[in-house]
A and B are shown apart, each in its own frame.
Chain A
Amino acid sequence: MRILIVEDEPTLRAQLRTGLTEAGYAVDEADNGRDAHYLGDTEAFDAVVLDLGLPVLDGLSVLKRWRDAGRAMPVLILTARDNWSEKVAGIDAGADDYLTKPFHMEELLARLRALIRRASGLASPVLQCGALALDTRSGRVTLGGQPITLTSHEYKVLDYLMHRPGTVVSRTELTEHIYAQDFDRDSNTIEVFVGRLRKKLPPELIETVRGLGYRLVAP
């Protein structure tokens, strides 16, 4: 899952990057409204953490422009402004959640997980596909109740696929959502991760749709 962090305070931005990367997200950053708008408009993100008080272009304007352009990714506003009037303005501008500073990183992560899950139309924090279960809260993957150990990249691929059960996901899409923008992307590595996953999981779980991509199917 790929997240855009928009925060102008460098230390806090670094902390957010650390916290989100450790939680297994691919992270892109912007420190002003204009760059944030451009990134959100041109790249595929699974969620955005958006500060409101930003240089060049304020957060609410960025959010409105995205929504006006039909960009529907979940946006969590992370701001020091904690008036209810500001929250109303934020939600009415198209935000999906609102968290005020100072905050606990755990709470931010929990809310992001919920946002991403709800955006995929999933209700439970534990994603199921047949005997396979992925607990988004703990990052634990089990097969028939038995824990399975995955590397960080394997987890990212499986996590993305499990958020879209039954949907064909192209390699490009997987690449876009697993790596940050400045990462040297190579879609061939995706094949490697999928191959490894097939060895750890029932092989028929991840189906290859020729010429289109991969699909997670419950046996």
Chain B
Amino acid sequence: MISGWRWPGSLRLRLLGATLVTLALALAGAHAWLGGLFRDHVLRQFDTTLVLQLDQLTARLEFDAQGQPLIDPRSLSDPRLDKPYSGLYWQLDRMSPGGQTRVGVLRSRSLWDTQLALSADALADGDLHTHDGLGPQGHAVRIVERSLAVPEQPQARWRLMVAADTREALAAADDFNGVLAASLAGLGALLALAALAQVAVGLAPLKAMQRALQQVRQARTARLEGRFPAEVQPLIDDFNGVLDRNAEVVGRARTQAGNLAHALKTPLAVLGNAAAQVPGNDLAPLVAEQVQVAQRHIQWHLARARVAASQGLPGQRTPLQPLLAGLLRVMGTLHAERGLDIAAADMPADLAFAGEEQDLQEMLGNLLDNACRCARGAVHVHAVREGALLHIVVDDDGPGIAPAQRADVLQRGVRLDESTPGSGLGLAIVVELAALYGGALTLDTSPAGGLSARLTLPAAA
């Protein structure tokens, strides 16, 4: 095991790497095996021809009256045997019992003035041996020899051999090897392309999954959408299950927080009214004050619980325009008595907040409500997107807030104007919610001299 080595991080590289290495090894192996097989076959054929030649020579071998061997060259069919250094040769050696060998007692004309050198060999009568040796001009030759004993000369043994130049045969094998290598390389290239295509097709669902996840992250969809292959679909279903469950848990948390708040508010209303309706009740101011305190606590913690529940949920995208339109309708109705000019500047339809709808509604609702309470005649809203940020600006033409006091009003429960109704939590809740989303609320002076509240939030794609 190689320690410290890891598979590369990319699945595509792993698959491709493993496939291509295996492919290269298999093709190289096939090349070696097939090449060897062909070479063996060529040599076997070569040997068979040599043996045929040897058989013919053996048949033509005669001895004259003096016991001298004799082979009539004209009786041999292959013309190469007569042509010097033609590449096909034969030779007859005489081996005496004493170990002395007379090389080249007879030989083909093609050997011209050379001899075939062959080491001593102990062959049984009629046996065939094949050798690789060197021919007349130093070329490699294949030699087939046969040992013979003739009844006329029982003391002598003859060694008859046929040799042929192997260059042509081996060149044919090499040619074949070349063609084989080229074919296998072509096959390898095709298979590599097929592997590439296979990996691309095989990993395509992962790409699709990544895109689907991105859609969820960018809040364009709430779940992973699309059909995936059977191997991936269970993962998608499980993931969607987790998303659904998350949303459900958040929804339940919100509902429960809301239910608790509602359950507490009616008794508080009863308590406050009861204290106020009894004439001459000394406790009335105390009860009213404590009811107010309890209400602030509820409002504050309910707002926080709502946001905390939705934090980190993927897939949140709230288009600004319709939400703002709804809130402007509400402001127009709630502040109908004041006859305000409440309007929003034209804004791109795709402006969207990367977060939960109710949270944006809380922030904007509080800002608009605050502006409507303070305004003398007009409240104007405009919004722009700058990079990843969404800026929503609510301007009013009210008295505004002095720069020195601006930090104070953003704090929980601080009210500059005790004469208007409200818990004093509105702006503090906006600050808190915006901060939870990584945004901010800044106060400035509006063009009309009133308050300009700028809410900066993460924008959705």
Contact = CB atoms under 8 A, between A and B. Distances in A.
Interface string B325-343: 0110110011011000000
Interface residues of B, number: 35
A19 B365 CA distance: 30
B445 interface: no
A113 to B, nearest CB: 10
A102 B421 contact: no
A84 B274 contact: no
B321 to A, nearest CB: 14
Main secondary structure of the interface of B (DSSP, over half): helix
Given A83-B358, A88-B361, A19 B262 contact: no
B421 A87 contact: no
A46 B337 CA distance: 17
A97 B263 CA distance: 22
Contact of B330 (A9, A19, A91, A114): A91
A88 B334 CA distance: 10
Given A97-B333, A118-B336, A85 B357 contact: yes
Interface stretch (A10-18, A33-41, A64-72): A10-18
12 contacts: A11-B274, A15-B270, A80-B264, A80-B266, A83-B258, A85-B358, A97-B333, A102-B265, A102-B295, A103-B272, A104-B272, A104-B421
A12 B270 CA distance: 5
Contacts of A105: 273, 276-277
Interface in B246-275: 258, 261-266, 268-274
Interface of A: 9, 11-12, 15-16, 18-19, 53, 79-85, 87-88, 91-92, 95-98, 100-105, 107, 114, 118
B82 interface: no
A98 B258 contact: no
A107 B273 CA distance: 12
B265 A80 contact: yes
Given A15-B270, A84-B330, A102-B268, 18 more contacts: A9-B270, A19-B273, A19-B277, A80-B264, A80-B266, A81-B262, A82-B265, A84-B362, A85-B358, A87-B330, A88-B326, A96-B333, A97-B334, A101-B265, A101-B266, A102-B291, A104-B272, A104-B276
B164 interface: no
B333 A91 contact: yes
Interface string B297-315: 0010000000000000000
Contacts of A84: 327, 330, 358, 361-362, 364-366
Contacts of A97: 333-334, 336
A104 B423 CA distance: 12
A9 B334 CA distance: 25
Contacts of A92: 326, 329
B406 to A, nearest CB: 23
Contacts of B337: 114, 118
Contact of B277 (A18, A80, A95): A18
B361 A82 contact: no
- Choose among A12, A53, A87, A97 the residue with the greatest number of B CB atoms under 10 Å from its CB: A87
Nearest to A117: B337
Contact of A15 (B274, B329, B333): B274
B280 to A, nearest CB: 15
A114 to B, nearest CB: 5
Interface in B168-225: none
A53 B272 CA distance: 20
B273 A15 contact: yes
Contact of B327 (A11, A53, A88, A104): A88
Contacts of A9: 266, 270
Contacts of A104: 272, 276, 421
Nearest to B369: A84
B365 A87 contact: yes
Contacts of A85: 357-358, 361
A16 B265 CA distance: 15
B271 to A, nearest CB: 8
Nearest to B368: A84
Contacts of A91: 329-330, 333-334
A77 to B, nearest CB: 11
B277 A83 contact: no
B318 to A, nearest CB: 11
Contact of A12 (B263, B269, B327): B269
Contacts of B271: 102
B333 A95 contact: yes
B313 to A, nearest CB: 17
A213 B160 CA distance: 153
A15 B327 CA distance: 31
A211 B230 CA distance: 83
A208 to B, nearest CB: 35
Contacts of A96: 333, 336
A18 B261 CA distance: 26
Contacts of B291: 102
A80 B333 CA distance: 19
B122 to A, nearest CB: 109
A53 B364 contact: no
B272 A107 contact: no
Contacts of A103: 269, 272
Interface string B76-87: 000000000000
A83 to B, nearest CB: 6
A17 to B, nearest CB: 11
A200 to B, nearest CB: 29
B299 to A, nearest CB: 7
B258 A88 contact: no
Interface string B351-371: 000000110011011100000
B269 A102 contact: yes
B314 to A, nearest CB: 21
A88 B329 contact: yes
Closest 8 CB pairs of A and B: A84-B365, A80-B265, A80-B262, A102-B269, A101-B269, A102-B268, A88-B326, A15-B273
